[in-house]
Amino acid sequence: MEDIDTMFTDLLGEMDLLTQSLGYETDPSEMSSSSSQIENNFSIGFTDLKESLNELEDHDLDALMADLGSDLTETEETLNAAKTGHVHTQQNKSGYYTAQQHLQAPIPSSQMSSSSLPPEPSEPLLAGEAEAQAKADKIKLALEKLKEAKVKKLVVKVMMSDGSSKTLMVDERQTVRDVLDNLFEKTHCDCSMDWSLCETNPELQAERGFEDHEYLVEPLSAWTRDSENQILFLLRPNKYLLFKDPQIFYLWKKHKQFMNEIKECHKELLLKENFEGPSLIVPDLEGPLYLREDGKKSWKRRYFLLRASGIYYVPKGKTKTSRDLACFIQFDKVNIYTTTDYKQKYKAPTDFCFILKHPQIQKESQYIRFLCCDDEHTLSLWVNSIRVAKYGATLYHNYQTAVRRALTTTSTLHVTSLPVSSPPTHSTGHIATVRANGHPDQDYLSEPPPDFIPPPPPGWGSGV
């Protein structure tokens, strides 16, 4: 018993020492680094948060202040409604007790605002100085409120194609579509469906276009503190090429002349059969690609197949039957990026490469998958078809929304034509689901119209 008492006393002593060590004073340099990291989390494309707020236009800064004030007021009302200052104990299954301290209500924003503002100047300021001082006061108050806001917000620098930039305030509830609409108003450009927001990663020499349904703050939050990544606002004609010319992707084995002569009504039929049925159909794409193997500098040529769940390949000595296929990668945790100059960077066979990686990976990693195509057309086939496999019917809905936005603006401005194809006249009755193999039941496919051009016999023409 004495030994047990001694052990218990020693244990209590160690716990006391541990408790005391938790109360050490933080080193000033560590506090500075932590504070800098917090401020960096509020801005993208700037050296610090104060610089980013200073770049905001006056009306945007006023809107931010009003929004933050609304967020803080709502939070204060919620906390004030709860009981404060009471400690409750709760017994857990082990018989020990834990103390839960309720948060004290914060200082009301009205008091914080008055205390945070600098004292009134003793001498009257000139008109220009007064405006500068007023903006400086707003920025100081915004810095304090941003750290307490319940909705995450980012001040984002978006680069234009002419080298200029626009500064936007984006919160976590805004989709890329919302940000595009905001940029349309700021730049007064047309609302073509080809406008895109893209992220570039100089470290990996890669880029991708954000999908319109994505919440922009989420992928930007994955950027590292020292990242040189940028957001670009530019025209990308291939953004919705799959819906403008679906025959390129769903009839890719046919002859080029056949695909060039297909009528608009047949394009609409392809969209209806592949995107508006009970199951969404992924392009039945397959062919040889070059693979950069893990940990090696060499590229090997393998035969790959695209399915709704991911990319598969044919192992050496096997056939293309489903039981022989090996899974290369699945799409639920990765994004697809196109690359630049990989022929020089990684000794790729061509410059038509793409990579698949988790959005959190921002630098070179063994978990990045590298693939290389023979030509630009094959690269376009794979990149766009993978987007369909990953996002399904959501991608089609993005396209329809972009078409409606472009047509609404066109009718408002009395423009006679658009540099893009018209949207399908049919409407979607429900959201199609992607089947595991990406193929629909054969009895579902509708009959072609009387004037539909029959496909050429097997083996006629090239596959690309």
Distances (CA, A) of 270 to 267, 377, 419, 429, 457: 5, 20, 22, 16, 20
Q: CA dihedral defined by 220, 225, 228, 230, rounded to 10 degrees?
A: 20
Of 271-280, 342-351, 440-449, the poorest mean pLDDT is in: 440-449
Per DSSP, the residues of 23-69 read TPPPPHHHHHHHHHHHHHTTEESSSSHHHHHHHS-HHHHHHHHHHHH
At 317 the pLDDT is 84
Does residue 434 surpass a pLDDT of 70? no
Does residue 250 surpass a pLDDT of 90? yes
* C-alpha R_g of the chain: 29
> Alpha carbon 51 to chain centroid distance?
25
Query: Are 346 and 288 within 8 A, CB to CB?
Result: no
**Beta pairing class for 310-313 and 326-330:** antiparallel
Distances (CA, A) of 187 to 62, 182, 191, 233, 243: 20, 9, 10, 10, 27
Taking the C-alpha atoms of residue 296 and residue 290, their distance in angstroms, rounded to an integer, is 13
Return all residues near 69 (Cβ < 8 A) that are at least 6 apart.
Answer: 109, 145
**Beta pairing class for 299-307 and 286-292:** antiparallel
At 169 the pLDDT is 86
pLDDT tens-digit readout, 187-238: 888 889 999 999 999 999 999 999 999 999 999 988 887 889 999 999 999 9
Residue type (1 letter), 452: F
At 48 the pLDDT is 58
Of 57-71, 131-145, 217-231, 330-344, the poorest mean pLDDT is in: 57-71
Taking the C-alpha atoms of residue 439 and residue 213, their distance in angstroms, rounded to an integer, is 25
At 382 the pLDDT is 97
Query: Around Cβ 304, how many Cβ atoms within 10 Å?
Result: 18
- Residue that the structure tokens 């004495």 belong to: 2
Query: Are 175 and 216 within 8 A, CB to CB?
Result: yes
Please classify residue 283 by burial: count the beta carbons closer than 10 Å to its beta carbon, then call 0-12 exposed, 13-18 middle and 19+ buried. buried
pTM summary value: 0.65
Taking the C-alpha atoms of residue 370 and residue 290, their distance in angstroms, rounded to an integer, is 8
**Beta pairing class for 153-160 and 43-44:** parallel
Does residue 22 surpass a pLDDT of 60? no
Binning pLDDT at 50, 70 and 90, where does residue 307 land? very high
Does residue 37 surpass a pLDDT of 50? no
> What are the residue ranges of helices labelled H in 318-463?
342-345, 376-391, 393-413
pLDDT tens-digit readout, 71-103: 556 555 555 565 454 434 344 433 332 323 332
User: Dihedral sign, CA of 168, 172, 176, 177?
Assistant: negative
Return all residues near 45 (Cβ < 8 A) that are at least 6 apart.
Answer: 52, 156, 157, 158, 159, 165, 230, 231
Average pLDDT, the chain: 73
Binning pLDDT at 50, 70 and 90, where does residue 5 land? low
Distances (CA, A) of 39 to 110, 118, 144, 418, 442: 23, 21, 10, 43, 56
Count CA within 13 A, CB hemisphere, residue 294.
5
End-to-end CA distance of the chain: give it in Å, rounded: 85
Regarding predicted confidence, which is higher, 179 or 26?
179
Does residue 300 surpass a pLDDT of 90? yes
Does residue 162 surpass a pLDDT of 70? yes
Does residue 63 surpass a pLDDT of 70? no
Counted residue by residue, the chain has a size of 464
Please classify residue 176 by burial: count the beta carbons closer than 10 Å to its beta carbon, then call 0-12 exposed, 13-18 middle and 19+ buried. buried
What domains are there in the chain, each with its CATH number? 43-71+151-235 (3.10.20.90), 240-403 (2.30.29.30)
At 395 the pLDDT is 96
Segment 142-161 shows an average pLDDT of 75
- The pair of structure tokens assigned to 50 is 């104060």
At 122 the pLDDT is 54
Binning pLDDT at 50, 70 and 90, where does residue 287 land? very high
Of 146-160, 394-408, 434-448, the poorest mean pLDDT is in: 434-448
Query: Around Cβ 119, how many Cβ atoms within 10 Å?
Result: 5
At 322 the pLDDT is 82
Regarding predicted confidence, which is higher, 303 or 36?
303
At 4 the pLDDT is 55
Of 69-83, 97-111, 261-275, 279-293, the poorest mean pLDDT is in: 97-111
Report the share of the chain in percent with pLDDT over 90. Answer: 41
Q: Which of 28-37, 272-281, 313-322, 412-421 has the highest mean pLDDT?
A: 272-281
Vertex 211: Cα angle to 209 and 217 (nearest 5): 90
Return all residues near 189 (Cβ < 8 A) that are at least 6 apart.
Answer: 183, 195
Does residue 114 surpass a pLDDT of 60? no
Taking the C-alpha atoms of residue 94 and residue 372, their distance in angstroms, rounded to an integer, is 57
